[in-house]
Structure 1
Amino acid sequence: MRKDNIDESLIKDDLYQAVNGEWIKNATIPGDHSSTGGFMDLFDNIDKTLMSDFDDLLKGTMTPANDDMAEFKKLYDLATDFAKRDDDGAEPLKKDLQRIEDVKSFDDLNAQLADWTISGLPLPFGFGVEADMKNAKFNALYASSPSTFLPDKTYYDKQNPAGAKLMPIFRDMVQQLLTMVGYEEDQAKNIVDSAEEFDRSIAPHVNSAEENADFTKMYNPKTYAELAAKIDKFDLVSYINELVGTTPDQVIVTEPKFFDAFNDIVNDDTFAKMKNWMIVRTVKGSAGLLSEEFRQVGGIFSRALSGKKEATKPEKAAYYLAAGLFDQVVGDYYGRKYFGEKAKQDVHDMVVKMINVYEKRIQSNDWLGDDTKKMAITKLNSLAIHVGYPDEINPLYHQFKVVGKEDGGDLYSNVEAIDRVVTKHNFGKWNKPVDKSIWDMSANTVNAYYSPLENVIVFPAAILQAPFYSLEQSSSQNFGGIGAVIAHEISHAFDNNGSQFDQDGNLNNWWSDEDHKHFDQLAQNMIKEFDGLEFAGQKVNGKLTVSENIADAGGLSCALEAAKGEDDVNLADFFVNWATIWRTKATEEYQQLLLSIDVHAPAELRAQVQVKNLEDFYKTFDVKEGDGMFMPKEDRVNIW
């Protein structure tokens, strides 16, 4: 245990402060950040490393590793040509705005509806292609609602002070952007007034973050003909025929209540408001591709939302823009250069070890029936493991062709062209087999995930470093870090959402009624454990965060068992590193935003609450009744 910066006198009362108090006192949140801490430190270091490498790429002192990297170089070159972007001003955006202005009726819009979607222009509904929840081997068509101006429908409640504070900031920002594009002041105000009215008409009919957290409820299959007949003003049959080549038999509607209300929201009386809503969304969405002035103004709302004091530096913003579009290409470069095959195998072995521990825990579980146990172990043994970086770059990226600076290319039109390729590719997947080799995260992402529709866990290279994992750390430290993260992702296969999917990724109840009833009660206990905990002047929503809290609990207890099986076990090291990986200092605005929309509990509570459920924590630090970290046995929650 690293005793130099730990206040051991505090451990029994406040583990998080004992481990991180000194760091929190001295840590400074950079002006262009909303937080700093374990995850963000890794994120910043990777950015610094890659930006340095890609400076050499632009200078020509580093050769592109492959053809995809050569295309990335051309886009990055355009993104960092700040003089040209400033000279171009609003000009690249005007053709898209004119296209919206030229639409005088629903007939005008229907005549170009498919290309409107491929061009990335906004519509008051969304269609996309993802794995079918009930037949996860094939891709299905999904229909959903559009996003709103504010982060969640709860911000539109009259009782929510955050919404009342944030909407005027959003309005002022957009009015300023509109005048910069060329609209007169009064025109800009009228557009924003009208767009806000339309946006507010959408909000009551979309799901909140809490509702979306139970994502199996998004599976509402309808016949496509049924959905198309519901919508009065849009020709959805011609639209989908052009996008996928035929009329599908089925569409999965994620929010039926939105489409039930659609004709009240979108009609001849609201057509002008809808157009203005499209203009606002287009101007706001494009600001980061234009001049520095546009980028600065276009970020006012997000900075207010997150509490950032200043905009990201132009150079870093240009890197984020180019690397975001070429994320798997950048990830491939990062993984191969900074991670390598040996580390990839080491961590893969660690994942297998954690799966084996999990299997033993399921076998010895005292509340699951034998048939349910058998199915759980089948699912566990079917789990696909991705570590570090994919073996090959996703072939989609081979289609990204950039018109470089020397050929007269500009940033805006190249980004638009790449977006068209991505959208066409997405619709082209309809009714085709799901490719489970494709990663949803790039290797330079400091994160990990479990996909229930693919039954796969993914650990990008970027998270596989200290304090999560290092050969310099003891086995107990590593299990308290990356071991708990690995087991957390495994646990998602058995959380309140993941447990409803079988080993093939299909939404399919494999539980006995009695076992499921018992699990639901345990999940309710987890909701109760976190619900209403005070944080950042607000309260935690136990329903919103339940799936991640179940995964944290399962991950921590499973990793603890693995740590106890090592010769050099030191449980103080284990618990201290668990608290260390969650150290965070964030703006109050950002903390409050996350409490409203994030399915994860605040980092401090993730560190602090979960250990109280484990008997070994009490034994390790001699925590007794009356100590701040004590929780009565009857209140402790243990699921996996």
Structure 2
Amino acid sequence: MDSITDNIRMLMTKSKYKHAELDEDTTSMGSAHITEGISTSATHIHYYPSTSFWKLRSLLEKCLIILNCILLFLVFLFGCLLGSSEKVTTTVNTSYDVMHADLKTQIFNNLADHSSLCLDEKCVRTAATILASVDTRVDPCEDFYQFTCGSWIKHNPIPDAKASWSMFNILDLQNNFIVKNALEKPITSMKSKAEQKAKTYYMSCMDANETIEGLGAKPLLELLDKVGGWSISGKFNISSWRLQRTVETLMIDYSMMGFFSWYVSEDDRNSSRYTIVVDQSGLTLPTRDNYLNKTANEKLLSTYLDYMTKIGVLIGGDEKSTKEHMRHVIQFETELANITEKDEDRRDEEHIYNRMTVAELETLAPFISWHSFFNQAFRKVQRKITPQENVVVYAPNYLKQLTLLVNEYNSTTDGKIVLNNYLVWQTVKALTGYLSKAFRDAYKGLRKALFGSEGGEEPWKFCVSDTNSVLGFALGAMYVREVFNGNSKPMYQSALLLTSKQYYAQAEDMINNIRQAFKTNLLSLKWMDKETFKLAENKADAITDMIGFPNYIMDTKKLDEKYEDLEVRENEYFQNNIRASWHSLKVLLKELDQPVNKTKWSMTPPTVNAYYTPTKNQIVFPAGILQAPFYDIKQQQALNYGGMGVVMGHELTHAFDDQGREYDKNGNLHQWWNNDTIARFKEQAECFVHQYNNYSINGISVNGKRTLGENIADNGGLKAAFHAYLQWSKQNAKKEHHLPALNYTHKQLFFIGFGQVWCSTTTEEATKLLLEKDAHSPANFRVVGPLMNLPEFSEVWNCPLGSKMNPVNKCEVW
């Protein structure tokens, strides 16, 4: 997300349209931040023909040499895969075996139509990647995920410093290498002041001079003195402490978390304007159950207490008294967890939207003066907030109960100490990742308990990610230039001789084809009435899209203006982060009186992800994801539609999931369906709830209700993408070439391409966390779930009715 503005806006609040599953890489380097994100990549295998010998050969000899080289290469590759795997004692069913015994005969048979077989390096590499991933011993009609990803999983163990490893992670790593190379060029080569700031910020993070290590706890201790001290570090006067002042100082001046979250965002009911939003927040651990289910989370809570104690001791606290203080903080967070509403109970957008004045908010939750709070914030941008200013509250019941809880604590001296300790802890834990190694190492135990890995990756990876969060679009400009004008590694070879407009033109065509397929599918829906059908069709037509990157980042003047007020200094990493937080909050506050910018990006160009924004009715696909295996202009369209096409269909379908359907074509929240159609939609959707509730890993079930929106999008996206591909293939049959050594039809390749982008491995701890927190289903269920519901899949793979991948009862909404 661009700078920390969007982190402030989200702050783990509503679960609305989270873009991906939990990823430990998005945590601060040593801080207890639990955020969300995904990552990616593909395995690249190169084929380089000989040239000195080449000129002496005839055309026929050249063809035979090419075929034999490919044959030897693929047989060698397949032999290596088999050699490194366990010996198989059972006979392999040849009906599912890609590599037939007579591979040479297969290749020559494919050559019957010389124009249909692709033999260039890209096609050979793509075929080899597929062969290295599939497990042909698995019946695709029994478990298509294991069929497409079995060998990939076996030969791609989780790296030591990671909690998961996936195609997303690999692609993300490749993108980060591109960014790293750009950042490490001389600062004089940077095209803009914004890029120079990105370079400076990155170098301050890398800490070549060991300034961070030399300072130790000093930057944090100086901050604590400014905010009134902390009883744990020994400098705190309870007699002069005031709740209002502490809340305003920490949550406004330092943009930290507290009892609640607040931000400026589009008004759901009038998406052309911005409004102030208040929501529930305040927990450190990922879920409320981490606190409330003490039996299942005893080890996690103990590790959390150890982490808190270690940090307290590092800033001067006595270990015994620090641990006691921190126990009280955990108890307070547990009481917050008890009044926090579950994510799955907050999916009805119309129900949780509550518009009121600041004066009414004062009456609802008078534990602080909201009028004073907002005026203190907006004073920074010379804006007054009156008692009649409107705000949107997403969690009124939470704020009511929070008032009772805070007032009870605030009525005694000991309670006030707990409140201050809690609020200061929210700040301390957020900033430890910007301190010395001792602070970052203190987080390892908690990280291990949460994710199953202590971390410990090279610092440059974290520093690239952190720079992206602060100066992401400056970084994006550098990334785009490297991709389209520089030496950007093999995965972007198709882009090197093209302009960005040329490279993304095909992607734009795919979006339009998928939109048309989605609209055509609407005609077959029996649960939708004619009036709602027409409105839904109009909304699909009104969806706008943005691809690659915003144009302004290539204009140095406009890019410099974006970061003009952000000050970044060498060797001041901690202070750079504080200044970045403040700069982003100031930008956010200024938006209140501005018209909504419908073309503003929420993700930076290198990001391997995509998203849909309901208030803009817009889908966005950053440059980072628009590369193989998802998308490549030289890649078979079956794979493009199976990879990127399904992602496009997924985001488009979000406009019609259980939350997106509540917003009209203009992005405004209101009931634009009639009651009967809504009831039928909920009945159809309930099928998905039951289907995914029955999926489990290690005895923990998927929450079909919490994941409903993503499951609807997964199913609708697959269906729309496949139908779009079928239509494309009818009109472009001669353009689709066969890959060497693969005995699959183009339709089968579509599904293989879809399955393989989700190949992944995850630690037991991270899997548990995903199942408990994420709005997405685990990767394997994101593959098999939608395929089970798509009749065309079983037709293509000849799956008998009643087989695991072709159940009799199927679910469908879109």
TM-score, normalised on structure 2?
A: 0.74
Aligned partners of 2:662, 2:347: CA distance in 1, in Å?
Answer: 14
Which of 511, 526, 532 is the aligned partner of 1:372?
532
> What is residue 304 of structure 1 aligned with on the other side?
449
Aligned to 1:242: 376
CA distance in 1, matches of 2:161, 2:605: 24
Correspondence 1:156 to 2:291: yes
- Distance change in 2, residues 1:190/1:203 (3 Å): same
Letter in 1 for 2:404: D
Structure 1 equivalent of residue 432 of structure 2: 287
Question: Which letter does structure 2 place at the counterpart of 1:261?
Answer: Q
One-letter amino acid of the structure 1 residue matched with residue 522 of structure 2: I
Tell me the residue number matched to 2:157: 28
Q: 2:670 aligns with which of 508, 522, 545?
A: 508
Aligned partner of residue 580 in structure 2, secondary structure: helix
- Find out whether 1:81 has 2:207 as its counterpart: yes
**Aligned residue number for residue 387 of structure 1:** 547
Distance between the aligned counterparts of 1:481 and 1:93, measured in 2?
A: 46
Aligned to 2:313: 179
Alignment of 1:54-65 (within 5 A): 54-57=183-186, 60=187, 63-65=189-191
Task: Return the index of the structure with the highest Cα Rg.
Answer: 2
Structure 1 Cα separation of the partners of residues 693 and 194 of structure 2:
47
1:160 is displaced (CA, Å) by: 5.3
1:423 aligns with 2:585: yes
1:534 is aligned to 696
| Matched letter for residue 813 of structure 2 | I
- Of residues 606, 612, 624 in structure 2, which corresponds to 1:462? 624
Which residue does the alignment assign to 2:563?
Answer: 398
Aligned-partner SS, 2:278: strand
Question: Given the alignment of the two structures, is residue 16 of structure 1 paired with residue 145 of structure 2, yes or no?
Answer: yes
Q: Could you tell me how far 1:165 is from its partner in structure 2? A: 1.8
**3-state SS in 1 of match to 2:706:** helix
| Structure 2 CA distance for partners of 1:558 and 1:291, relative to 1, 3 Å | same
Native 8 Å contact 1:118 1:423 kept in 2: no
Number of the residue aligned with 1:41: 170
Pairing of 1:63-212 with structure 2 (within 5 A): 63-82=189-208, 83-98=210-225, 99-101=227-229, 102=236, 104=238, 108-111=242-245, 114-116=248-250, 117-158=252-293, 161=296, 163-212=297-346
Q: What is the CA-CA distance between 1:52 and the residue it aligns to?
A: 2.4
For the pair 1:411 / 2:573, whether they are aligned, the reply is yes
Instruction: Report if aligned partners of 2:258, 2:426 keep a CA contact under 8 Å in 1.
Output: no
Moved more, 548-557 or 535-544: 535-544
Q: CA deviation at 1:111?
A: 4.5
2: CA distance, partners of 1:419 / 1:300: 27
Distance in 2 of aligned mates of 1:106 and 1:120: 23
Cα offset, 1:400, TM superposition: 4.6
Contact 1:11–1:18 (Cα < 8 Å) also in 2 = yes
The letter of the residue matching 1:143 is V
Say yes or no: does 1:273 pair with 2:418. yes
Of 522-531 and 469-478, deviating more is 469-478
Question: Does residue 359 of the first structure (1) align with residue 519 of the second (2)?
Answer: yes
* Structure-2 residue corresponding to 1:617: 793
CA contact (8 A) 2:543 2:619 kept: yes
After the TM superposition, which of the residue ranges 311-320 and 370-379 deviates more from structure 2?
311-320
Match in the other structure for 2:605: 443
Distance change >3 Å, CA 532–CA 399, structure 1 → 2: farther
- Distance in 1, matches of 2:603 and 2:697, equals 30
Question: Residue 152 and residue 183 in structure 1: after superposition, are their counterparts in 2 closer, same or farther (change >3 A)?
Answer: same
State yes or no: 1:577 paired with 2:717.
no
C-alpha separation between the residues in 2 aligned to 1:520 and 1:626?
26
What is the CA-CA distance between 1:328 and the residue it aligns to? Answer: 2.1
SS of alignment partner, residue 266 of structure 1: helix
Partner residue, 2:358: 224
Moved more, 594-603 or 64-73: 64-73
> How far apart are the structure 1 equivalents of 2:397 and 2:164?
36
Partner of 1:316: 461
Counterpart-to-counterpart distance in 1, 2:256 and 2:686? 42
Q: Which amino acid aligns with 1:202?
A: L
CA distance in 1, matches of 2:290, 2:240: 30
Q: 1:513 to 1:378 in 2, by over 3 A?
A: same
Q: How does 1:556-595 map to 2 (within 5 A)?
A: 556-565=718-727, 566=729, 567=733, 568=736, 570-595=746-771
Q: How far apart in 1 are the matches of 2:153 and 2:748?
A: 21
Equivalent in 330, 336, 341 of residue 475 of structure 2: 330
1-structure distance, mates of 2:246, 2:308? 26
Q: Deviations over 1:562-593 (max 9, x none)?
A: 11121247211111111111111111111110
What residue is the counterpart of 2:644 in the other structure? Answer: 482
Give the alignment's Cα RMSD to 1 decimal: 2.1
Give 1:361 shift. Answer: 2.2
Residues of 2 paired with 1:315 and 1:168: CA distance? 31
Segment of structure 1 superposing worse, 353-362 or 598-607: 353-362
Tell me if the contact between 1:132 and 1:139 (Cα under 8 Å) persists in the aligned partners. Answer: yes
How many Å apart are 1:439 and its aligned residue? Answer: 0.8
Equivalent pair of 1:100/1:279 in contact (CA under 8 Å): no
- Structure 2: where are the runs of 5+ without partners? 1-97, 99-126, 230-235, 379-383, 485-499, 737-744
Q: Give the superposition deviation at 1:434.
A: 1.4
**Cα offset, 1:211, TM superposition:** 2.6
Q: CA 1:230–1:519 in 2, change beyond 3 Å: closer, same or farther? A: closer
Amino acid at match of 2:321: Q
| Matches of 2:275 and 2:237, distance apart in 1 | 31
**Conserved in 2, the CA contact under 8 Å of 1:400 and 1:418?**
no
Where structure 1 has 5 or more consecutive residues not aligned to the other structure, the ranges are none
Of the structure 1 ranges 607-616 and 547-556, higher mean CA displacement relative to structure 2 is found in 607-616
Letter matched to residue 521 of structure 2? R
Q: Any conservation in 2 of the 1:219–1:253 contact (CA below 8 Å)?
A: yes
Contact 1:154 1:160 (C-alpha < 8 Å) held by counterparts: no
Note the C-alpha offset of 1:596: 0.6
* Equivalent residue number for residue 777 of structure 2: 601
**SS at 2:266's partner residue?**
strand
Range with greater deviation from structure 2 (386-395 or 90-99): 386-395
One-letter amino acid of the structure 2 residue matched with residue 16 of structure 1: Y
Counterpart Cα distance in 1 of 2:312 and 2:664: 50
- Whether contact under 8 Å (1:100, 1:275) holds in the other structure is no
Q: Describe the SS at the equivalent of 1:443.
A: coil
- Deviation digits for residues 315-360 of structure 1 (CA, Å, limit 9, x no counterpart): 3222222222112221232234325222122212221221122222
Question: More displaced, 389-398 or 591-600?
Answer: 389-398
Deviations 1:122-167 (A, max 9, x none): 4322221111111111111111222312211122223651x22211
When residues 425 and 550 of structure 1 are mapped into structure 2, their CA distance, relative to the original with a 3 A threshold, is same
Distance 1:342 1:505, change over 3 A: same
Provide the identity percentage.
27
TM-score, with normalisation over the residues of structure 1? 0.94
* Contact 1:71–1:400 (Cα < 8 Å) also in 2: no
Deviation at 1:121, TM superposition (A): 4.0
